[in-house]
């Protein structure tokens, strides 16, 4: 079985799907891995490291994709200027594609994959069950995004995060409000606390209260009897009455905060609009909003994905692809997730496509047969 890893072509993407560590693990299992030359350079993994890990190196991305049985990627396939063709057009029919495909955001690519006869698995759709924890790319990347978001907030805020006692007097700690206490939100809370801020957080799921409090933050939630979590472990949409009460809470907390970090996503991909322009107008001049959900549409009405703007004296940052800002660790964790996925279904020298398995069934985004060619 031939596994291919190519250089990511999306602008600003610095991650690579497999790092040398994982290549060595797959090679030990009898899986041949070929990597495009330079694929790991932006994440600080050299071609020589891949060679020592047992991976083959190729310069022709089109040939690499065309000869692969299994293609591993970070981002969904796209048009590759270097080869003058769309990546999907050079992957052979019947091959398997695995990556963070975000099908809800890329319906055109998903339709193209299906038309081409490529069996595609979206790592972002793997169910959140115990057996799949080692494959959970969303959690791995969200952890990095939450950490980086807190650092961005501290960098943009025109005041200290921690309380300091100086000869000129005492400096009070910054107040940070985190919206969404999933993996990204919890890491943002932990990082902001380590930097010395006073942190408060909210989430539609009351069951995360203890997790928030365990990190030294205060939980602010709306009392409800509605279930805020779907069967896959993701936040889901609730009633208009709930959102009315939540909006009141968010408006009050934003007005009191120095920095607001938003991480709320529905189904892991769709960002609910939680902070209105009017709420931003009610915030103090110099305060900061870091919208981690910018790529999903943004939790703030004034967010511009990939940009930082100032409105009503408030800095609104909509960072795109935060994990790519820490490419070494992001690649390492993503690679471990992919390797765990491949090895979990590697049987008798083949990658087995068993749709009775809830992990494969949940991740599949295009039609598949009973097993991939090996």
Is 234 one of the catalytic residues? yes
Query: SS3 helix, strand, coil % of the chain, rounded to 5?
Result: 40, 20, 45
For residues 247 and 176, is the Cβ–Cβ distance under 8 A? Answer: no
Output Rg (C-alpha) for the chain, integer angstroms: 22
Is 258 one of the catalytic residues? no
For residues 347 and 328, is the Cβ–Cβ distance under 8 A? Answer: no
> One of 234, 253, 258, 335 is an active-site residue; which one?
234
DSSP state, residue 2:
E
> One of 42, 75, 121, 136 is an active-site residue; which one?
136
Element (H, E) at 96: strand 96-99
**Spatial distance between the Cα atoms of 8 and 16, rounded to a whole number of angstroms:** 7
Is 81 one of the catalytic residues? no
Structure tokens at 63: 């040939």
Is 253 one of the catalytic residues? no
Is 213 one of the catalytic residues? no
Assign 3-class secondary structure to 247-302: HHHHHHHHHHCCEEEECCCECCCECCCCECHHHHHCCCCCCEEEECCHHHCCCECC
CA angle 54/57/59 to nearest 5° reads: 175
Instruction: Tell me how far the alpha carbon of residue 141 is from its chain's centroid.
Output: 4
Structure tokens at 55: 């991976």
Which residue in 98, 166, 195 sits closest to 137, CA to CA?
98
> One of 133, 213, 214, 239 is an active-site residue; which one?
133
> One of 37, 92, 105, 128 is an active-site residue; which one?
128
HSE (side-chain half, CA atoms, 13 Å) at 74: 30
> One of 34, 75, 100, 139 is an active-site residue; which one?
139
Residues marked as catalytic? 128, 133, 136, 139, 234
């Amino acid at each position: 079985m031939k596994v291919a890893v190519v250089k990511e072509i999306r602008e600003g993407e610095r991650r690579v799907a497999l790092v040398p560590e994982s290549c060595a693990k797959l090679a030990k299992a009898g899986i041949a891995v070929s990597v495009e030359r330079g694929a790991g350079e932006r994440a600080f993994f050299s071609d020589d490291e891949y060679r020592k890990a047992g991976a083959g190196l190729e310069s022709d991305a089109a040939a690499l994709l065309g000869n692969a049985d299994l293609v591993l990627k970070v981002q969904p396939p796209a048009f590759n200027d270097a080869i003058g063709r769309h990546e999907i057009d050079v992957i052979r029919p019947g091959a398997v594609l695995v990556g963070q495909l975000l099908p809800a955001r890329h319906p055109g690519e998903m339709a193209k994959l299906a038309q081409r006869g490529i069996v595609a698995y979206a790592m972002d759709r793997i169910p959140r069950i115990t057996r799949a924890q080692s494959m959970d790319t969303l959690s791995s990347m969200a952890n990095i995004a939450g950490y980086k978001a807190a650092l961005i907030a501290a960098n943009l805020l025109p005041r200290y995060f921690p309380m300091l006692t100086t000869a000129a007097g005492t400096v009070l700690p910054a107040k940070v409000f985190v919206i969404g206490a999933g993996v990204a939100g919890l890491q943002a809370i932990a990082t902001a606390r380590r930097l010395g801020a006073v942190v408060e957080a909210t989430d539609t799921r009351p069951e995360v209260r203890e997790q928030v409090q365990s990190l030294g933050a205060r939980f602010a939630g709306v009392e409800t009897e509605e279930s805020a979590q779907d069967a896959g472990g993701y936040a889901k949409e609730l009633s208009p009455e709930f959102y009315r009460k939540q909006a009141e809470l968010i408006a009050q907390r934003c007005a009191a905060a120095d920095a607001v970090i938003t991480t709320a996503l529905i189904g892991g991909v769709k960002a609910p609009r939680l902070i209105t322009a009017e709420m931003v107008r009610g915030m103090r001049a110099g305060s900061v909003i870091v919208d981690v959900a910018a790529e999903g549409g943004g939790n703030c009405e004034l967010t511009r994905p990939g940009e930082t703007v100032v409105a009503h004296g408030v800095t609104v940052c909509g960072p795109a692809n935060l994990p790519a800002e820490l490419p070494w660790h992001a690649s390492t964790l993503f690679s471990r997730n992919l390797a765990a996925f491949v090895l979990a279904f590697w049987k008798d020298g083949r990658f087995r496509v068993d749709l009775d398995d809830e992990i494969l069934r949940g991740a599949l985004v295009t039609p598949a047969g009973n097993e991939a060619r090996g």
